Amino acid sequence: MHDIRFPGENAEYRAARNELLEAEKDLRRNVESVAAKRRALPLGGEPPEDYVFDGANGPVRLSELFDDGKDSLIVYSYMFGPQMKAPCVSCTSILDALDGEAPHVVQRVNLAVVAKSPIERILGFTRPRGWRNLRLLSSAGNTYNCDYHSEDAKGAQLPAANVFVRRDGKVRHFYSTELLYEPPEGGQDGRHVDMFWPLWNLFDLTPEGRGTDWYPRLTY
Whether 12 contacts 141, CB under 8 Å: no
> Which residues, other chains included, contact 205 with Cβ-Cβ below 8 Å and sequence gap of 6+?
none
- How far, CA to CA in Å, does 194 sit from each of 179, 202, 206? 11, 11, 16
Q: What is the mean pLDDT of residues 71-84?
A: 97
Predicted local distance difference test score (pLDDT) of residue 213: 84
Q: What is the mean pLDDT of residues 49-71?
A: 98
Q: What backbone phi and psi angles, to 5 degrees, belong to 92?
A: -65, -40
Predicted local distance difference test score (pLDDT) of residue 187: 67
Q: What are the helix (H) ranges across 87-197?
A: 89-105, 119-129, 144-147
Give dist(CA 142, CA 139) in Å, integer. 5
* Segment 158-215, tens digit of pLDDT: 999 999 999 999 999 999 999 989 888 876 777 888 889 999 999 999 999 988 888 8
Candidates 139, 134, 163, 175; CA nearest to 52 is 139
Predicted local distance difference test score (pLDDT) of residue 189: 73
DSSP states of 178-213 as a string?
GGGGSPPSTT----TTGGG-HHHHHHTTSTT-S-SS
Give dist(CA 137, CA 121) in Å, integer. 11
| Count of C-beta atoms within a 10 Å radius of residue 192 | 18
- How far, CA to CA in Å, does 78 sit from each of 18, 50, 102, 154? 40, 20, 15, 17
Give the residue extent of every domain in the chain: 52-178
Whether 66 contacts 73, CB under 8 Å: yes
- pTM attached to this predicted model: 0.94
| Three-state DSSP state, 119 | helix
Whether 60 contacts 160, CB under 8 Å: no
Candidates 150, 175, 171; CA nearest to 46 is 171
- How far, CA to CA in Å, does 187 sit from each of 102, 184, 197, 207, 212? 32, 6, 19, 19, 9
87: pLDDT strictly greater than 90: yes
Domain at 52-178, CATH from 3.40.30.10, 3.40.1390.30, 1.10.1270.20, 3.40.50.510:
3.40.30.10
Q: What counts of helices (H) and strands (E) characterise the chain?
A: 5, 7
- With cut-offs at 50, 70 and 90, classify the pLDDT of residue 67: very high
